[in-house]
Chains A and B, each alone.
Chain A
């Protein structure tokens, strides 16, 4: 693998841990190197992170590009002088979002901006404010003015509905249609700047961050706290005990089943399979109970700490969970087989929202979306973490790239997860072995990356440690962030009636994804779709 990196013009590698390699690159070479790495060497672009390095005694901004491949994670480090401008590689849509995020949050200068409006901050945020700069206090509230910066397209009479930042993560999916064919698509999200990263960097200590990391997502919270703990463990080179690895694997898989069952249930609801919806939700309830028996909480397990897990899991809890799981297994497998052979599912989703392999590569799709398009990228196999190197499982890959194959990927993955849980519960003696956590010493100025395979795809946490048990920089890249750009490729050219299904097929947080504005290019009529399932006239 290192040879392939040399071919792309990279030199002087330093190892952070066994799998993470870092190297410095000049800003002007970057686009060329990224093109070579992604298009020729076939690596996966995870994300990039902008860091204000003035607190570390240097000048300007540093950008870390995280690129991952089989058994190798590459960190490209670039120093950008305050006046220097970075070029956005226009043929690689996967880099757009994170570069614009760096522009908004740490004040990076971009040469060819794709989004001229404020991208990850609300429109009302003043232009001069970059909240993740070190001279900006976390308790500061900028004076906001209600303006709308996103350019409206006059020829198409767009009406944007008022945004009510009531839930976290409000999103707008704006679809331009010609009669019933989708001709263009726009996405605008990030209305609520919650500033979790800033809170983690300033207000909280590093050992309190796992709790807030767990609250990033309501469905797959545990994978976030795992990724964060792994990032710190890789930065400080902490070796975690065997029992902690197994516990994390067990709970991550419980979470995956639960998340996939929710998605499959909602899919059934959308294609009018109401009986299966109810059955799947009932089955999911038992999975939630399993987390409850094992850790004491239905969600937000609160069990992860840096260096391992806490002593919550006892032998009687495992016995109880195993008893519940043996009942659940047969029920769940039967249901999933029934869904898989359902004629209605095939009829409603086959050939809808096709995403080709090339498009999935350049938009940086992850998780079931990528695996349905023929990319076998799965962090559990590529960069094994927790105890995934000790259990045997396979990665379902389909090549059609439509909604049907995404559903099949998720069904197969749930069945694999059931198998993994069986294997881990069989190792109960190793699971209960004490201690569950290892001691560590805090060291400043270390860089670490933690990746997990969340139910929705690869989840990346990047940290730089600071002094006194605090973080200097914490960056979270949730899987939906990487999957949303693929909608540009899969939505355009499809029929309007399938828009709901295609947007839902990447599994965005459905509770947050609450409105979709439809603009009829011919009539100039606007329709609004709420809750992704009902269509009504505005």
Chain B
């Protein structure tokens, strides 16, 4: 007897996730972890560790995480059970170096505050621009 109200595995929408890490800091079992590489953010969900508490879905500011109706999780190794989402980092407008924030975070910030072109500059270019003034 299965009801549709049972909590299943969380699903991360790669289109919506912006790599802010709110879910990872809320997760009580460390099943959600955030790794930074040079030009992207990797969000990894270890389904084997997950206790289906749905704290991540509550914490997500962009509603990227939903609790699905999927209950059976099978895999030969822990790697097979992992769900990975790669979020690209925003790039500097002048030199093209990756920034600290993800592209989606910058987009969202732009939507909220329209006049924000300075934020898409890396630290070095910021200094350069200030000195040039």
Q: List 26 A-B contacts (CB under 8 A).
A: A204-B28, A208-B28, A211-B28, A211-B29, A211-B51, A211-B53, A212-B28, A289-B1, A292-B3, A292-B5, A292-B6, A293-B5, A296-B5, A296-B6, A297-B6, A297-B7, A297-B52, A300-B51, A302-B7, A302-B51, A302-B52, A302-B53, A302-B54, A310-B54, A317-B5, A320-B3
Smallest Cβ-Cβ distance to A296: which chain B residue: B7
* B79 part of interface (Cβ distance < 8 Å): no
Alpha-carbon distance A293/B2, docked complex (angstroms): 9
**Chain B residue, CB-CB nearest to A289:** B1
Give the residues in chain A near B28, CB-CB below 8 Å. Answer: 204, 208, 211-212
Bound-state Cα–Cα, A82 to B103, Å:
57
Q: How many residues of A contact B (CB 8 A)?
A: 14
Q: Nearest chain A CB to B107's CB is how many angstroms away?
A: 29
- The reply to whether the CB of B80 lies closer than 8 angstroms to some CB of chain A is no
Further contacts, 8 of them, CB under 8 A, given A204-B28, A208-B28:
A211-B29, A211-B51, A289-B1, A292-B3, A293-B3, A293-B5, A296-B5, A320-B3
3 closest residue pairs by CB, A with B = A208-B28, A296-B7, A211-B28
Q: Which residue of B lies closest to A215 (CB)?
A: B51
Does B58 sit within 8 A of A, measured CB to CB?
yes
Question: For window 44-94 of chain B, which residues contact chain A by CB distance below 8 Å?
Answer: 51-54, 58
Docked CA distance A516–B51 (Å): 34
* Nearest A residue (CB) for B2: A292
A212: chain B residues at CB < 8 Å are 28
Q: Which residue of A lies closest to B27 (CB)?
A: A208
Q: For chain B residues 1-25, which have a beta carbon within 8 Å of chain A?
A: 1, 3, 5-7
Q: Binding site of B, secondary structure by majority: helix, strand, loop or mixed?
A: loop
Cα–Cα distance between A300 and B29 once the two chains are bound (Å): 14
Note all chain A residues with C-beta closer than 8 A to B51.
211, 300, 302
In the complex, which residues 172-208 of chain A have their Cβ closer than 8 Å to any Cβ of chain B? 204, 208
Q: Which of A208, A300, A317 has the most B CB atoms < 10 Å from its CB?
A: A208
Give the distance in Å from the alpha carbon of A317 to the alpha carbon of B1 in the complex.
Answer: 15
Q: Nearest chain A CB to B1's CB is how many angstroms away?
A: 6
* Among B5, B29, B51, B52: residue with most chain A CB under 10 A: B5
Chain B residues with Cβ under 8 A from A302's Cβ?
Answer: 7, 51-54
Q: Separation in Å of the A287 CB from the closest CB of chain B? A: 13
- Determine the residue in chain A with the shortest Cβ distance to B8: A296
Name which residue of chain A comes closest to B53, CB basis. Answer: A302
Of the candidates A211, A292, A297, A310, which one forms a contact with B58 in the assembled complex, judged by CB atoms under 8 Å apart?
A310
Closest to A204 in B: B28
How far is it, in angstroms, between the C-alpha of A293 and the C-alpha of B7 when the chains are bound?
11
Cβ contacts under 8 Å, B6 to chain A: 292, 296-297
Interface residues of A in 261-305 (CB under 8 A from B): 289, 292-293, 296-297, 300, 302
Alpha-carbon distance A212/B29, docked complex (angstroms): 9
Q: In the complex, what distance in Å separates the CA atom of A426 from the CA atom of B60?
A: 35
Instruction: Identify which of B3, B28, B52 gathers the most chain A CB atoms within 10 Å of its CB.
Output: B28
Complex Cα gap A320–B4 (Å): 12
Min CB distance B10 to A, Å, is 13
Complexed CA–CA distance, A204 and B55 (Å): 14
Given the complex of chains A and B, what is the CA–CA distance between A513 and B32 in angstroms? Answer: 35
Candidate in A204, A289, A297 with the most chain B CB atoms within 10 angstroms? A297
Identity of the chain B residue whose Cβ is nearest the Cβ of A211 in the assembled complex:
B28
Residues of B within 8 A of A293 (CB): 3, 5
Q: Compute how far the CA of A178 lies from the CA of B29 in the bound complex, rounded to whole angstroms.
A: 51
**Which residues 131-153 of A have a CB within 8 angstroms of B?**
none
Q: For residue A208, which residues in chain B have a CB less than 8 angstroms away from its CB? A: 28
CA A211 to CA B31, docked complex, whole Å: 14
Q: What is the CA–CA distance of A302 and B29 in the complex, to the nearest angstrom?
A: 13
- Min CB–CB distance A222 → chain B (angstroms): 14
> A288 to nearest B CB, angstroms?
10
Interfacial residues of chain B within 105-125, with CB under 8 A of chain A in the complex: none
Interface string of A197-230 (1 = CB under 8 A from B): 0000000100010011000000000000000000
Q: Bound state CA distance, A153 and B58, in angstroms?
A: 58
